[in-house]
Amino acid sequence: MTADPAQWLAKLLTSLEVPAPEAAYRIERIELVERRFVLPIKIAAILMLVHSFRASPWFGTALSALDVAVDTVQTISVIYVAVNVVVAVVLFFTRRLPFVLIRWAVFASSLVDAVFLAGVTLLTGGYDSVLYWLFVGLIVRNAASIPPAWSQLVLNLCASFCYVSAGLLDIAISENVAEAFVQPMRGAIPVELPESPTENLLIRVVVLLLTTACCYGLQVLLEKQRLAVGEARESGLREGQLRLAGRLAAEIAHQIKNPLAIINTAAFSARRALAAGKGVAPQQIGIIEEEVERADRIITQVMGYAQLAEGHVERLNVAEELDHALAQVFPSAAGYAVTVQRRYAAHLPPLLMQRSHLAAILENLLLNAREATPGAGHIAVSARAAPDNTVEIEIGDNGPGIPPDKQERIFEAYYTTKAKGTGLGLAIVKHNVELYGGAVRVESALGKGARFILVFPAKTKI
């Protein structure tokens, strides 16, 4: 059974998509390619071009149609030099300027390079010009400067179009010139017009298009390999962090549990002494036992951190984990009257963490939101990727809100405003988020609900 062509094309396009690299990595590529390599070559080429325009007519004898082209290229040259001066200034201040400005400056510079190169190609032989190979180099340069995205394809296709335009314009000028020479001699000497060079031009255009496709495909493979290596390294770092945290928690729990066992034994001995008629205050026995029981509950929670070493870091899809947490807190069979609004951005970067940790974070926040809106409430869940490739998750409700004087304490362990609350839900949320170098904050006002914002970094912070 053959696959549907539309489905096959959709799968092909999906396989060619890769997440945009972080801004710092793209700036490093731009500095390496554009500032250290391309910019010195451009300076040398502009100086040679200026000398050629002022010193000698290196085009040969110009006819009227070609004179217009020469004047046009000279005018474009002035614009070209001005654009490159601006781009050079941007390249020398890449660490201080917004990345959006740097990205568009490089895009505009490459586009202007293609247009200007097409003009010079027209004056130096058109489709036969040796400058054709500079278009191939321009495509490779664009692939090195711009990550694999549709902007790279558009830019390289524009470069190919510029070469085609220069070649076709050269053909048109050659035919007009030939016709002008042949017209007065018609009837006297048989003159054959030159053959059309369209076939040669087509071959060269195919080479440009193949170079564009190969550069893009190779970059997709290299980028996916870079992401896989980065994720493997990130997983190793986080696994090490979790094992270290688990060992530390187990050691602390063990050191505290031993004296508690001794206290418990002492309480048991004191009770036996009391039963034997010796003078031991019953209140003291009760206090000891109560403190032991309370301390044991705390240690049980601390011992839960020792399980950190038992899990494994996974590559989690944020949208899928949010949907799963919503299904757990709001099962369809329960018939909750709460309206849940979901807004997930496309192409969210994966989170490298233990699934149980993220589930505990999301379910605790959703449970709080559900309890804050017992009637027909409204809960909004959103996820987006910030420009620095961090993931930001927001969970908000239209409940009564949190008083300002209590917002600073809601993340403390055992602090609760509920009659039957344990005070551990938000403490677990804060601990699990900060365990991965993230942060959590709350925005709330009385009568306007509450909104919890989680930020997970793209890289491990040690």
Q: pLDDT of 448-461, one tens digit each?
A: 888 999 999 866 54
Residue 298 identity:
I
pLDDT for position 58: 44
Residue 300 has what pLDDT? 63
pLDDT at 356: 84
Query: Of 195 and 295, which is predicted with more confidence?
Result: 295
Please report the pLDDT score of residue 220 as a whole number: 80
pLDDT top residue among 286 and 136? 136
Residues 400, 407: contact at Cβ < 8 Å?
no
Specify the pLDDT at position 318: 93
Exposed (0-12), middle (13-18) or buried (19+): which is 440, by Cβ within 10 Å?
buried
Instruction: Give residue 135's pLDDT band: very low, low, confident or very high (50, 70, 90).
Output: confident
Share of the chain above pLDDT 70, in %: 70
Check whether 191 has a pLDDT greater than 60. no
- Name the pairing type of β-strands 450-456 and 314-316: unpaired
Q: Determine the average pLDDT of the residues in 422-433.
A: 77
pLDDT of residue 309: 52
The CA-based diameter of the chain, rounded to the nearest angstrom, is 145
Per-residue pLDDT, 311:
64
Is 98's pLDDT higher than 60?
yes
Q: Residue 392: what pLDDT?
A: 93
pLDDT: which is higher, 62 or 445: 445
Band of pLDDT at residue 120, cut at 50, 70 and 90? confident
pTM of the entire predicted model:
0.52
Say what the pLDDT of residue 381 is: 94
- How far apart are alpha carbons 112 and 79 in whole angstroms? 9
Q: Are 408 and 400 within 8 A, CB to CB?
A: no
The answer, yes or no, to whether residue 362 has pLDDT greater than 80, is yes
Pick from 390, 365, 247: nearest CA to 307: 247
pLDDT at 9: 62
Mean of the pLDDT values across residues 73-78? 72
Say which amino acid occupies 10.
A
Identity of residue 148: P
d(CA 438, CA 392): 10
Residues 202-211 have a mean pLDDT of 85
Per-residue pLDDT at 282 exceeds 70: no
> For 227-280, how does the pLDDT look when each residue is reduced to its tens digit (9 = 90+)?
778 778 777 777 777 776 776 666 566 657 666 766 777 777 777 777 777 766
Residue 197: which of 135, 136, 123, 128 has the closest Cα? 128
Question: For residue 383, what pLDDT band results from cuts at 50, 70 and 90?
Answer: very high
160 or 183, which is more confident?
160
Written as six digits, the tokens of 411 are: 């993340």
Which of 340, 451, 352 is CA-nearest to residue 393? 451
Mean pLDDT over each residue of the chain, to the nearest integer: 76
Q: Which residue has the higher pLDDT, 331 or 8?
A: 331
pLDDT at 461: 47
Average pLDDT over residues 286-298: 67
pLDDT recorded at residue 62: 44
Within 305-436, where are the H helices?
Answer: 318-329, 355-372, 404-407, 425-435
More confident residue, 374 or 68: 374
185 within 8 A of 113, measured Cβ to Cβ: no
Of 34-43, 295-304, 316-325, the range with the highest mean pLDDT is: 316-325
pLDDT at 108: 87
Position 428 scores a pLDDT of 81
Say what the pLDDT of residue 348 is: 87
Predicted confidence (pLDDT) at residue 193 exceeds the cutoff of 60: no
Q: Which residues pair with 383 in a beta bridge?
A: 344, 393
pLDDT tens track for 48-66: 777 766 665 544 444 455 5
CA distance 284 to 276: 17
Q: What is the pLDDT of residue 61?
A: 43
Per the model's pLDDT, the better-predicted residue between 410 and 342 turns out to be 342
